[in-house]
Structure 1
Amino acid sequence: MGSANSTLDSSPVSFSQDLVDTLADNAASPTPSPARQNSIDAHIRARIQAELQQLRAEEQSVRDQIYAALEKENLDRERAMAGDPDSVKTSAALLADLDEVRAKVDRFHARRDLSEFPTLRQDSEALVACYKNNATTPLNCWQQVDKFKASVAQVEQQHIKSLQ
């Protein structure tokens, strides 16, 4: 077994000219085929998107940490300035207070009705209309301004007389 010499058949191997040309063209051009290039591009885009999402998540995490640190620093500063740690309100409590003040202002504006003073309301509307019509030249509304000032002075005088 194995001691017998095997004889090699030395017949020449031949390849078709089309195969040789295709291999030569592929070796000569460094660019991959369009299908392969599309596959490579899709893979690269997927990796870029994944990396971008990871970076955005990290950025949001850093922002949250910065926000928390700034809020803590502000509370510490407010406590130090107030001297009494229990008197310092959180930002949520301050926002609630702000909403309450806004509601009061809205109620005040709703009660402030100019129906008792039709002249003042007409002069006010005329002044606003003039400003809208002369947005680039508001000085042209000087007559409406004077009328409005006179109406306000008249209402003030009526109010002063009503208090006496």
Structure 2
Amino acid sequence: MGNAHTKPADPVVLYNEPDIPITFSPNLLFRLDQIQNPNAAPSPKPAHNHDVDDVVHERVQRAIEKEKQQRLFFEERSADQVRREAEDLLRRQKRVPEQHVNAEYQQLQNAVIDCYRNNTARALDCWKEVADFKGAAKKAQHDFVSTH
């Protein structure tokens, strides 16, 4: 019923004839140039196939040169960026401030550790030492934030 509308299309056959030269009309080349560079001044239309070959060769050379310049610019930028990041890391490494631990905080931390070691079976008996240490840690955070 609906099979008549789904008729298979004829296969596309492409012939490769390397002996036949491909030529483009000057008008086609002119229009392609206008599409690529709409603000560019109109180039003179080539009159012969030799002129067309010269124009195509010139455009290919310009495209290759542009690609080389972009690649070199990217490589320079990448190297410069890597150098700056390395210098920044070295600079940050040099100014790492030494952290001075208050003796009171160190003493409270040691009290918690000693309590846990002495009461391995009853770790909950160390609640007072842990509460004191937590209070000291909160005070240290508050002092740090207020000074920085």
- Normalising by the residue count of structure 1, what TM-score does the alignment of the two structures yield? 0.29
Q: Which has the higher contact order (CA 8 A, sep 6+)?
A: 2
Greater helix content: 1
- Normalising by the residue count of structure 2, what TM-score does the alignment of the two structures yield? 0.32
- For the pair shown, which has the larger CA radius of gyration, 1 or 2? 1
